[in-house]
Amino acid sequence: MTMAKVSDVDAASVASTAVPDARTNVVQLVSADISTIAGVSLYGSRAEITRIAKIDLEAGQNRITITGLPSAMLEETLRVEGKGSATIHDVTVARTPATPQPHPQKSATSPHLQSLYKERKAVGSELYRVSKHLEALERFASTLNAKDNSIDQVVEVMARYEPEAAVLHERTYDLEQRLLELDDSILEEQSRLRSEADAATAPTVSSELGKQLTVAIFARGKGPVELVLVYAVSSASWRATYETRVVTANSTKDGGAPVDLTYKAAINQSTGEDWADVPIVLETASPTFGLSIPQLVPHTLSVHRPRSRSPDRYEHSRRRRAHYSRSRSISPHRYPHVVTVRAGRSMESHRSHSPPAPQMVAQEAVVTSMGNVTASFSIPGRSNIPSDGEDHQVTIAKLKLEARLQWVAVPSMSLQTHLKGYIENTSEYTFLPGKTSVYLDGSFISKSPVPPVSPRESFECSLGVDPSIRITFHPRTKKAAKSGLYTKTQTHSYSQRITVFNTRTQPVENVAVLAQVPVSQDAAITVKVSSPALPPAADQNQGGSASGSGAPSAVRVSGAVSAAWEDSREGRFKWTAKLAPQEKLMLELEWEVSAPAATVINGL
């Protein structure tokens, strides 16, 4: 049977004021003893816990208090449901009060401490007797004199005195050392007893499990019921991590390569409850609480009208200036601080004529929605995530994807060749933002960011540097010439050669070499690229062709090499080539800069 409910509890707002009478069955239980976690739905910054508790009720009114619930519980999310022949009347959630403990005794003791005190007293008494004995011996030795005793008697007395005094001195030293040892032992035992007393009087409520739930239930008959507690907790999160493995030797003829991508989750929780042997569902949605709809405010326009200066204010200011002018002309040496006064008054006068400062305007917040497709990932089997605040890795899926490889070099900046992969998400999983560990041909290369990717979307992944594609950037050559009969023109010609060498035993299908030529910012200066034979920059749209098709128009340089503008307004273009195994490719860049002969050109 399903347990009837008076209300589906908003536990933060419901508080029970009823006082249980003598017929109410009052029971206090510990959550870990009578309930288990049946499931965890983990979001980016919180988790939803489902607990099932089995409780024995008496017929009639019952008041059940369950302690040991996490302090990180968000009280407004608590729901209490159940199964059984009973009705839920009231639910209250609060902090668990500390259990009052008896005050510790003023002087804690133990049998061992008592024996130490007894031994110390005995050693102290013996030390007193020995000191008195030694004192008497010393007093007797001081009474000897030659008048009353012969030399033989004195010698005999001193012969007996010396060994006896030595024994007493040694015994005194041993007893004093024993007293020091006993004092240390007494202090150690007293410290141990104080620690035990402090532990006994310490609060029994854990700071991490400091909340309790009180449920008022009316049962139609005696017997067990099942309560289901659903609540959200903070201090729990998960983030996506990835592992990407690419083997370039398995690349296809069209430049593609298989990719093994392992989709993982790093789970972290410090809620105070250990998630032991529980099913976990990872949610990509981000729950929000109390988010209100933004309200539009009026956006008004008006004509700016400068404020006119008041004639009265102008006349008042003029009179003040005349007054200070007369003061200066009377006696300039009577007022040694006249410069400071004038400066202050001048600023005040200036402020009186300046228009008022505009009012500060608060920066308006911009609310955006990412709009990503949400998904739920059920972790296979059951997981064990202790409440230790450490990352625990679980695998979501192992995927076989396809990547289109591209080798990219920028020789004017670096002689290294970078490898990129354009990976298509052909799976049914949504990729969350995270980091991926990249392994190229079995070796760890680097960590690369992964953006949010929905199914059927592609993303770019950096695969590190490929040393098998070698770049040589040859020295640049420059020539200058003048031409023209009446109007002289100066021309600067430049030539740059770049060598690309594929040392691999496999062909590479998509090698991009980026270069740049100067861009004229003045109509008197003309820049012309002669090799490769790209269309004039003025005919190109930024990032596209003159026809507006969106793709840059490419020109054929040779059988396997083409060139196209990337951004003609900034002078960037690239060669795209296919290289056979052990092939060397020579790329040539030639351009010239023309301007009137008297023109001084900056940037050459």
- pLDDT score of 469 more than 60: yes
Report the candidate in 429, 430, 426, 432 with the shortest Cα–Cα distance to residue 400.
426
Which pLDDT score, from 0 to 100, does residue 341 have? 27
- pLDDT tens-digit map of 339-370: 222 333 333 333 444 455 444 333 222 222 23
Phi, psi (degrees; rounded to nearest 5) at 351 = -65, -30
Q: What is the pTM of this model?
A: 0.59
Which pLDDT score, from 0 to 100, does residue 460 have? 92
Where is average pLDDT lowest: 204-213, 289-298, 316-325? 316-325
Which pLDDT score, from 0 to 100, does residue 416 have? 94
Report the candidate in 269, 287, 267, 456 with the shortest Cα–Cα distance to residue 379.
267
Report DSSP letters for 60-116, one per residue. EEEEEEEEEE-TTEEEEEEEEEEESSEEEEEEEEEEPPPPP-PPPPSS---HHHHHH
pLDDT bucket at 314, cuts 50 / 70 / 90: very low
Would you tell me the crossing angle of helices 311-330 and 338-353 to the nearest 10 degrees? 170
Of the two residues 351 and 125, the one the predictor is more confident about is 125
Which pLDDT score, from 0 to 100, does residue 546 have? 40
Where is average pLDDT lowest: 10-24, 221-235, 359-373? 359-373
State mean pLDDT over 545-571: 76
- pLDDT score of 411 more than 80: yes
Contacting residues for 319 by C-beta, under 8 A, at least 6 apart: none
State mean pLDDT over 286-298: 69
SS3 at position 119:
helix
Of the two residues 307 and 382, the one the predictor is more confident about is 382
Which pLDDT score, from 0 to 100, does residue 356 have? 52
pLDDT bucket at 458, cuts 50 / 70 / 90: very high
- pLDDT score of 208 more than 50: yes
Which pLDDT score, from 0 to 100, does residue 1 have? 41
Of the two residues 450 and 356, the one the predictor is more confident about is 450
Which pLDDT score, from 0 to 100, does residue 238 have? 93
What DSSP designation does 544 have? Answer: B
Range with top average pLDDT, 155-159, 378-382, 402-406, 482-486: 402-406
pLDDT bucket at 133, cuts 50 / 70 / 90: confident
Burial class of residue 587, CB neighbours in 10 A (0-12, 13-18, 19+): buried
Tokens in use for 392?
């625990």
Is 487 within 8 Å of 599 (Cβ atoms)?
no
Which pLDDT score, from 0 to 100, does residue 515 have? 94
Contacting residues for 288 by C-beta, under 8 A, at least 6 apart: none
Which pLDDT score, from 0 to 100, does residue 147 have? 66
State mean pLDDT over 199-210: 68
Where is average pLDDT lowest: 128-132, 323-327, 517-521, 551-555? 323-327
Of the two residues 532 and 483, the one the predictor is more confident about is 532
Cα 173 to Cα 504: distance, rounded to the nearest angstrom: 88
pLDDT bucket at 155, cuts 50 / 70 / 90: confident
How many other C-beta atoms lie within 10 A of the C-beta of residue 105?
Answer: 9
Cα 81 to Cα 213: distance, rounded to the nearest angstrom: 13
Which pLDDT score, from 0 to 100, does residue 79 have? 92
What DSSP designation does 339 have? Answer: H
Of the two residues 549 and 27, the one the predictor is more confident about is 27
- pLDDT score of 285 more than 80: no
Is 537 within 8 Å of 525 (Cβ atoms)?
no
Cα 399 to Cα 181: distance, rounded to the nearest angstrom: 71
Q: What percent of the chain has pLDDT over 70?
A: 76
Which pLDDT score, from 0 to 100, does residue 437 have? 93
Q: What percent of the chain has pLDDT over 90?
A: 38
Range with top average pLDDT, 148-152, 212-216, 484-488: 212-216
SS3 at position 208:
coil
- pLDDT score of 9 more than 60: no
Chain Cα centroid distance, residue 10: 32
Which pLDDT score, from 0 to 100, does residue 574 have? 94
- Taken as a whole, the chain contains a residue count of 604
| Rg of the chain, C-alpha, whole Å | 46
Is 265 within 8 Å of 240 (Cβ atoms)?
yes
Which pLDDT score, from 0 to 100, does residue 278 have? 93
Which pLDDT score, from 0 to 100, does residue 346 have? 35
Which pLDDT score, from 0 to 100, does residue 334 have? 36
pLDDT bucket at 418, cuts 50 / 70 / 90: very high
As a whole number, the mean pLDDT across the chain is: 79
**62 vs 15, 223, 228, 229, CA distance in Å?**
16, 12, 17, 17
- pLDDT tens-digit map of 63-99: 999 999 999 999 999 999 888 888 998 899 999 887 6
Of the two residues 37 and 320, the one the predictor is more confident about is 37
Report the candidate in 223, 254, 263 with the shortest Cα–Cα distance to residue 54.
223
pLDDT bucket at 499, cuts 50 / 70 / 90: very high
Report the candidate in 524, 533, 522, 528 with the shortest Cα–Cα distance to residue 598.
524
Cα 353 to Cα 314: distance, rounded to the nearest angstrom: 8
**564 vs 98, 535, 576, CA distance in Å?**
75, 9, 8
